[in-house]
Each structure stands twice: as C-alpha cells, then as structure tokens.
Amino acid sequence: MLLSKEDCRAIARHAGLDVLMDELIDRLTRAIDEYDPQRTSVLARDGFHYHNPYHGLLEWMPVMQVGDTATVKVVGYHPANPTVKGLPTILSTISNYDVTTGHLVGLVDGTFLTALRTAAASAVATRVLAKSGSDTVGMIGCGAQAVSQLHALSRVMSIDRVLFHDRDPKVAATFAERASVGGRVSARFDQTATAALVSTSDVLCTTTSVAIGEGPVFEDRDLRAWVHVNAVGSDFSGKFELPRSLLERSLVVPDCREQAQREGECQQLPPDRIDTDLVALIQQRERFVGSRDKSSVFDSTGWAYEDHVVMQLFLDHAREMGVGTAIEIESHTDDPHDPYDFIVSGAKSEVGSRESEVRS
Amino acid sequence: MLLSKEDCRAIARHAGLDVLMDELIDRLTRAIDEYDPQRTSVLARDGFHYHNPYHGLLEWMPVMQVGDTATVKVVGYHPANPTVKGLPTILSTISNYDVTTGHLVGLVDGTFLTALRTAAASAVATRVLAKSGSDTVGMIGCGAQAVSQLHALSRVMSIDRVLFHDRDPKVAATFAERASVGGRVSARFDQTATAALVSTSDVLCTTTSVAIGEGPVFEDRDLRAWVHVNAVGSDFSGKFELPRSLLERSLVVPDCREQAQREGECQQLPPDRIDTDLVALIQQRERFVGSRDKSSVFDSTGWAYEDHVVMQLFLDHAREMGVGTAIEIESHTDDPHDPYDFIVSGAKSEVGSRESEVRS
C-alpha cells in the first residue's frame, strides 16, 4: 500500500488535524504502555553524515514487531533546505516490510508523519510531567517542528499564552500565523526575547537547528521551579540545546536512552545519571507523581517505535477510507526458482500479482 | 520515479535479457574500475535476523555517491518462501535518495535486480580469473540465483556443458528448462552427483541455502588445478559453502572484504590471508595475469555498490523508454516552515508537487 502526499492530505482533511493528533497521542500512549522489548526490536539509527554540498544527514530508523512487520523510516535532515531549496529541513519516507517474507507492505510519507509523531511524543511526556494548570508555553525555534509541537501541546493542556523566539526574524514573524491558522491554537502569541521567554513559561519547547558546539540556546536564569522542557532539536553527536545545569537538577526522561546519550541532551550527563525513559514514565506513572512540581526535561531524539505507531494509524485510516495505491514493486513470479520468469510469463504472473496485493 | 514490476518487465523485454546483462557487466566493470572510496561511501549492511515464524533476515545495504545520491537496498532472505509462500527466497526493493535534500528520488524492484547484479559480479570476476578456453560449468544449488548466474557466465565464456546438482530433486529436475528457456543458455545440461561435478568443471558456482554449520556443500577432491569458483550463497555469520582447504590454496577475491570476513567464505580464513578484493582485481588487472591457471574463488556476499549500478541502469532505461511513475510521497509544501500547510493549501502545493517531479 502506497500512501502518496495526496492520500495523507485526504486522511488529514477527512479526520481533521485535532482528531488525528488526539488519536495519535492516545495510540502512542497505549503503545508505550504495552511496549515489550521481547516483542519489539529497535535498532539504533545509522546513516550517512556529510558536509557536501550542504551539511546534512540521511538516516534509517528500524523497528520490528517480532514475527509481524518491520518499519524503517528513512529521514533526511538538511538545515539548508528551507533557504536553498524551499523544502522543509526534514524530508522522510516510512516503509513497512512483512518479516515473514520480506515483502514491502507499505510506503508512506514520513515528513508530515514525523512532525506529528514527534509532537505527539512531547504531548505524551508533557501530560505526565507539566505542572497542573500550566498555561504559558515558550517556543524557542519557530520552524516546521514548532508548529506541530505547539499543536500537540494544545491537545493536552489549556494554553493561554505562547511566547516565541527564533534567531531568524523572518521565521519568527510568521510563527503566530502558522501556528494559529484555522483556529488551530487559540492563544495570545508574543514574540519575546529568550531571557523573558524562559523565565515566564510553564512549558518550554526547543526545536532549533543550533549548530554543533553552539548550544545551549538559552541561559539557565530565573526558570520556573516546575518548568517542563521538551527538547526536540538535538539529533547529532555534539549538538544540544539546553544548559547543563538545568539537566543536572531536573528529572531527565529520554525517549530512547541509548540514542539520547549519543545524540540528545543526555550527552551532557554522565551515563549513570539517566535512570528512566519514556517507557518507564508511562508504564510506572506512580513513580513520577511528585515530578509535576519540579523541573523536568523530555529529551526527544525521535524514536523508531513512534514511526511504527504513526504509520499504522495512517494505514488504518487509509483502509477505512479506501485511499492509497496497491503497489507491486518486487518482481516475484509464479516460479520462485526463476528470477526471469516474470518477463516471459506476463499473463500468468498477473494472477500472482493480484493475489499478492490481496495478501498485503 | 517509481519503477513497478511492470516497468521492469517492459525494460527487460524491450532491451532483451542478453543485452541488459551485457550492459550491466560492462557498467559494473567500469564502475569498479572507477571506484574511489573518497567519492563513494559504503556502510556495512545491518538488519534484523530472526527465527519467528520462519528463519530469515531483513537487511539494508546503503551506499552513497558523495554529494549526489544514496542508494539503500532493503533485502529479505527467507529460505522458507518458495515452499511455504510460493515466493522467491530473496525479495527486495531499492531506493535512491538525493543527499542534497533527503528527497526519495526512486524506488525500484530489488528482486530481479539483485539476481542480475549478483550474477554480473560473478561474470566480472570470472572474465578475469577463469582459465582461457573454460567450457564446463558446474552449478551446485539450482534455485533462482543459479538461473541468473549461469546466464551471466554464458555472456563472458563459451559454455559447452553444464553439470548441476541440487539437494532437492524437484528443484534439480526443472533447472535445465529454467536455465535454457528461450535459447538463453544453449549447452548440454547434465544432472550430476557432486563429486563428479566438481572434478569435471572449469568454473563452479555455488548458490545454496545451506544452513549454518552444515557446509561445505562439496568435498575438496580431484578439483581441476585451474578451477574458478563463484561462491554466492554465503550471507550469514557461520554459513559457508566451500571446503577450507580449497580456500587455503586459492586466490580468494571477496567483493567487499569486511563483509566477506563476517559473512562470506572469508570467515574460514585468517583476516591477514585476504589481501585483495574485486576493486583490486579490476583496477590492478596486471597483478592477476598468472591467476587464470591456478585455482581462484570469488567470494560474493553482495556489495551495495552493485545495487547502485544496477539501479542506475534501470533508471536510465526507464527515462529513455518513458516508463515509470513519478512519485510524490513526502508531504513537502510551499511553506517549508509549516508541516500542516499542504493539507489546507491543496491547490497551491500542486505547483510545488509538479516542480519537484521535474527536479527528481
């Protein structure tokens, strides 16, 4: 099943963004609650990192439901995209393979879906860790991810005020419009200097493309004692957004411990300092009851398991709505012992082709 | 550009299998001759290995042309496929990404293309290493890969006689028909016991699914002094097909040294015993002039660079013939800073969509 950009648009329009995000937050919470490392295998992401012609990376993030399917997201991160190419920083596709045969079952956009699932993960963490009654959100970095992050937060907390900052004034200038269009997030939006922004927010969210060695993106001064931070931008060894002192005094919850210690805010902490993760946060909620009133950080590096959940959500909607294209990429044939058979036996193998579509 | 099974069929029918294989052997030889590790980055393949519900693996094989594109083949190896599902052991797809933006440029069948490129690699090695005048080929393992291996060999040597063996008599029974259909390989075909097969052949080819620990698939007795062996089946740690004594006295040329030492016949040799590879074989031909008259082994584990070459061949044919479907999977939009923009601005983003197709 191939879901094109058009299919994803149809699904989003049909369900509505709010409903889609609510479903995703609920499904992700449930999936994390049921997460069992015996039934789900997540491999560390790997990929190419380069500086030619632009700084960027292409990575794959594999996760397998044992005996069922494997989901592999391929994600490109190219900070020069918006300026040089008019494309988003993150471009991505998600593929799903049947691990009983190797068959490619589905191929879906990963750009929109990455924005959704990363935002939903922050919402899942925020719902557990933000102080009750939090109503002021500070956004540092106002690019594409900031739009979906704020939208997801608005589904789990009642937001009165959004303070925002981007080092690029042009990006900051359009943020309120992008974030609130169509009544998506109705709050007061104020462009604010970083120092005032961080001292006034109950919940902070960092989604920057800060360069390696140039972090943190704000100073640890006058933060609220109960501040909850969703740190979303870190995804490189050497890249981080938060001041170390904040991490040192806070509950730090990585989405995926190993990955966050390599690429996330957790890089700044000694390995034995991290004694929890998003799975523990949901599966052992009672451990974290007191955390709402203290400072906490969700260290989001992007977890392959989230890609699996969001892909399933879209495949389910596609099935229900009858959208999507049946794909037949692999040249398998009537005779599994003849790789050339499909060339000569056109008519025969059509039957195989249709059967295979039904199977997938 | 998405090339479906139908598109690959159209290309193979239009060009003809012989011409396609000749082109591939030539392109692969040239690509290996021009191979420069500064311009091409190949990552070790990685993946999931499992025994639930069947023994199998799903792996990705990444290669990048620096500053240009990255090709990632995802390949499933499921030996139970032919018996249990009526599918080939190997099912695969190949994707190509623009590493200046992360955009998915192409998606092509990898099943037929893997068979072609693996066979072409054996032909490239055989052309350099087989004794002049070799006319007898022995095939051990008569599944899908054997058909394409023999076809590729027939393009670089004049074959009078094909001796073949498969431990499954049903598979052996149909081999001559599969290999020679449509006049593909015209030679005398004789089903032969392994001992006689190996002692009579000038060129041997092993393409078995021998289980871990059950190799070798023939004994090292009475082999021709000049025998050249293409060992194609090994692709697992612990799996090998050849007797160690043959490897010890032969010139052993792995396609990709690191990978062959982990998964190929080279597992059986001490690491410092391997002092060459397919790149050296082609780039330093003069070093190997005397090797034709001695025994040699091409240790083929499947090299990601070969996938890149065969994909480019098919994309070039597709362009020339005007087949294939322009794909638009990623949901990028007019506003790179708004991941939701494409949902509301349907009409506008169509323009972006068409431009992006042109770009790719």
Is there a single domain that holds both residue B150 and residue B295? yes
Q: Which residues of B touch A171 (CB under 8 A)?
A: 337
A330 and B58: CB-CB below 8 Å? no
- pLDDT tens, position by position, B207-250: 998 988 899 999 999 999 999 999 999 877 888 999 999 999 99
pLDDT digit string (tens) for A28-46?
999 999 999 999 999 988 9
User: H-type helices in A164-243, by residue range?
Assistant: 169-180, 194-200
Task: Write out pLDDT tens, residues A65-120.
Answer: 999 999 999 999 999 999 999 898 889 999 999 999 999 999 999 999 999 999 99
Distance from CA of B27 to the nearest CA of A (A): 20
The CATH code of the domain that includes B140 is 3.40.50.720
**Interchain pair B86, A329: CB under 8 A:** no
Lowest-confidence segment of A293-297, B75-79, B149-153, B156-160 by average pLDDT: B75-79
**pLDDT (0 to 100) of residue A184:** 84
Domain membership flag for residue A336? yes
Closest CA to B60 of A39, A114, A46, A107: A46
Instruction: Place A243 in a pLDDT band, splitting at 50, 70 and 90.
Output: very high
Does B298 share its domain with B326?
A: no
At residue B346 the predicted structure's pLDDT band, cuts being 50, 70 and 90, is: low
Measure in Å the smallest separation between the Cα of B134 and chain A Cα atoms. Answer: 25
Last residue of a domain, one of A253, A281, A301: A301
Query: In this structure, is residue B119 part of a structural domain?
Result: no
Do A139 and A64 sit in the same domain of this protein? Answer: no
A85 lies in some domain: yes
Q: Mark whether A346 and A317 lie in a shared domain.
A: yes
Tell whether B298 is covered by a domain. Answer: yes
pLDDT at A355 over 50: no
d(CA B82, CA B85): 6
When pLDDT is cut at 50, 70 and 90, the band that residue A318 belongs to is very high
For B172, the closest chain A residue by CA position comes to A337
Same domain? For A172 and A135 the reply is yes
Instruction: Please report, as a single letter, which amino acid is at residue A172.
Output: A
User: In terms of domains, do B244 and B350 share one?
Assistant: no
- Same domain, residue pair B298 and B193: yes
Residue B90, domain CATH: 3.30.1780.10
What is residue B314's predicted lDDT score, i.e. its pLDDT? 97
- Verify that A105 and A157 share a domain, yes or no: no
Domain membership flag for residue A67: yes
**Most confident among A44-58, B265-279, B328-342 (mean pLDDT):** B265-279
Q: List the single residue in B5, B90, B333 with the smallest CB-CB distance to A329.
A: B5
Q: What is the mean pLDDT of residues B72-93?
A: 92
Residue A75, domain member (yes or no): yes
Residues of B with Cβ-Cβ distance to A87 under 8 angstroms: 101, 103, 332, 336
Dump strand ranges (E) for chain A: 2-3, 40-42, 46-50, 56-65, 69-77, 90-98, 104-109, 136-140, 161-165, 188-191, 203-206, 228-231, 251-254, 296-299
Q: How confident is the model at residue A346 (pLDDT cuts 50, 70, 90)?
A: low
Q: Are residues B135 and B249 in the same domain?
A: yes
Chain-wide mean pLDDT for chain B? 92
Does residue A142 lie in a domain region?
Answer: yes
Contacts of residue B110, Cβ cutoff 8 Å, sequence gap at least 6? A330, B73, B74, B75, B91, B92, B93, B94, B307
What range defines the domain where residue A277 resides? 131-301
Please indicate, yes or no, whether residues B223 and B329 belong to a single structural domain of this protein. no
Residue A126 located in a structural domain: no
Co-location of A147 and A207 in the same domain: yes
**Which residue, of A301, A327, A342, is where some domain finishes?**
A301
Out of A17-26, B47-56, B224-233, B313-322, which region has the weakest mean confidence (pLDDT)?
Answer: B47-56
Residues in A closer than 8 angstroms to B352, CB to CB, are 86
User: Which of B260, B275, B302 is the last residue before a domain boundary?
Assistant: B302
**Residue A175 sits in the same domain as residue A278:** yes
From the list B249, B193, B202, the residue with the least C-alpha distance to B223 is B202
pLDDT tops 90 at residue A298: yes
pLDDT at B351: 32
Position B353 scores a pLDDT of: 35
Whether residue B331 and residue A147 make contact (CB cut-off 8 A), yes or no, is: no
Q: In chain A, how many domains are there?
A: 2
